[in-house]
Amino acid sequence: MTNENNSKTNNRFSIPKVYDLIAESFDSKRRHPWKEVIQFIKQLPSTNRILDLGCGNARHTSVMLERNFEAIGLDISYRILQAAKENELSLVKDKLTSLINGDARVLPFKNKVFNNVIMIAVLHHFESKDDRLEILREIMRVLTENGTCLISTWLRTHPRFQKEDLSEIVKLGKKDILVPWTLPDGKKINRYYYLFDKEELEAIVLQLDFKILNSEISNHNLFLTVKKT
């Protein structure tokens, strides 16, 4: 499921196809920015240029724009970016530097152009370890010297994994999980998740020579703040 051309298998779609299909439903249910992201943004100089990588409906991009950051949102789903423009960004469109339909594994930016990157609930959607490493390499490439990145992933303690349809396979220790998203018409669209352990994600980040500034668990998510060294 690493590109648009992958075929549907057991109601599985590629990442962009999944979010194209659930874009409107996702936007209606995911309106509130996370407090952890707001806290990260608050401590940054307002002169910074920030990339919201995997911005989805731009609920966090809008926070950056309200605080007058030079912000760019990038997502692999075109339809979810349309929803972002129509809803979350409707009041701050004039402040937006750019909204880009692109792939986190091949970022369309020059080297060292962002002071900060946020990547919220994105990395766990990539099934291949090589893809996950490539995304982190791309973040390293586009960050300025001493630039920082906030990364979040779901943990297996997340309440969604305690529900009857998923609890047993999670208890068995499986790391590759399909989580259904239910559309208003009742149709279910599976989203792929890789269940990181805290130590595993930290090890991958350190493998790429990031420095971990902060590692915390909040609301069943792991948040890493890392620095390019």
From the number of C-beta atoms within 10 Å of its C-beta (0-12, 13-18, 19+), residue 173 rates as exposed
- Condensed to tens digits (0 to 9), the pLDDT of residues 40-88 reads 999 999 899 999 999 999 999 999 999 999 999 999 999 999 999 888 8
Tokens 């100089």: give the residue: 45
Per-residue confidence at 5, pLDDT binned at 50, 70, 90? Answer: very low
- Condensed to tens digits (0 to 9), the pLDDT of residues 99-154 reads 999 999 999 999 999 999 999 999 999 999 999 999 999 999 999 999 999 999 99
Domain chopping of the chain, boundaries: 15-228
The whole-number average pLDDT for the span 28-45 is 94
Is the domain spanning 15-228 CATH 3.40.50.150? The answer is yes
Position 74, amino acid: L
pTM of the prediction? 0.91
- Condensed to tens digits (0 to 9), the pLDDT of residues 187-223 reads 999 999 999 999 999 999 999 999 999 999 998 999 9
Q: What is the per-residue DSSP string for 62-119?
A: HHHHHTT-EEEEEES-HHHHHHHHHTTTTTTGGG--EEEE--TTS-SS-TT-EEEEEE
